[in-house]
Amino acid sequence: MRLKALILATTLALTPLAVHAQAADVAPPKFRAIKIVLIGDSTTAVLGGWGPSFCGWHVTSFVACVNLARGGRSSGNYRAEGSWALAMDEIRSGGFTDTYVLIQFGHNDQPGKPGRSTDLATEFPANMKRYLDEVRAAGGKPILITPLTRRQFIDGKLQDDLGPWADAVRKVAAETNTPLVDLHARSQAAVQAMGPVEAMKFAQRPPSAEVMEAAAKTGTTIAASTGVTAAPGAPTLSAQNNAAVEPLGQAKLAFDYTHLGVVGSDYFSAIVTDELSKAVPALRRYLIQ
């Protein structure tokens, strides 16, 4: 009896060790996370764009959100300067179940920006298609975004100077079967509905009294720095030169009709998130709306 009791006690004592050894041989379940990489110009970038609020407030902890957008870049010089090579390293790095690449260009592809401009009919769509092909070849999942609207008005009507570039992106998306976030359409409708004065809250800095007064009285946005006025107290109704105020590099912390401050980043990142959840249903579980 004593021998049986001793055997039983030994067996009971060794059982937890055996169970522990078996558990150690079983690999824990893989942590499933995805990566989202943002590619584009200053209207997406950390300073001046919707990207910071998107990465900071609209993705869950199961998402690594990397903002590689840079101010003053077009679909052409983003690649030429080497930024795209850096992005490709990020896309190929591995370790995630999926890597989604959001691509938005257009502002700096417009004429009047030496070293940046691309031909709308040929270069711009070809550049966008090349990005898509290379993302897919690297195992990533590309998503196209139409360019964010500027906020310039004439007689209360929002000027659609980026419409042709938005159309080009829509066409590329359709031809390549690529998910599309139509930020241009949504932002155009929203800014037109609120009007020139209210839309000024989206800028990085408040407008001058002169700029605010002109918009309130005439429904027309004037250059942020108007220089000499036509008469004492009367602003010169001159349009802003976007090529001059959208520098190659970091966006300046100033008032303009293109770049976004915190309020603008929060507002338009919510639109991107909403449209993204519709365009790519697989991403909904990773987005915070």
What domains sit in the chain, N to C, each tagged with a CATH number?
34-192+260-286 (3.40.50.1110)
Please give the pLDDT value at position 251: 67
Q: What are phi and psi of 34, to 5 degrees?
A: -120, 170
Res 145: pLDDT = 99
Q: Name the residue type at position 92.
A: R
So what's the pLDDT on residue 175? 98
Query: Given this model, what pLDDT does residue 240 score?
Result: 76
| Amino acid symbol at 110 | Q
pLDDT at 22: 53
Is residue 158 helix, strand or coil?
strand
Q: What is the pLDDT of residue 177?
A: 98
**Distance (Å, rounded) from C-alpha 91 to C-alpha 70?**
17
Residue 229: the pLDDT is: 34
Q: Note the pLDDT of residue 248.
A: 78
pLDDT of 19 reads 47
- In the prediction, which pLDDT does 17 show? 46
pLDDT digits (tens, 9 = 90+) for 217-272: 999 999 976 433 333 344 445 677 786 777 776 667 899 999 999 999 999 999 99
φ, ψ for residue 229, nearest 5 deg: -85, 155
The bridge status of strand 157-158 relative to strand 153-154 is antiparallel
The whole-model pTM stands at 0.86
Q: How high is the pLDDT of residue 93?
A: 93
Which residues of the chain fall short of a pLDDT of 50? Answer: 1, 3, 5-15, 17-19, 21, 226-236
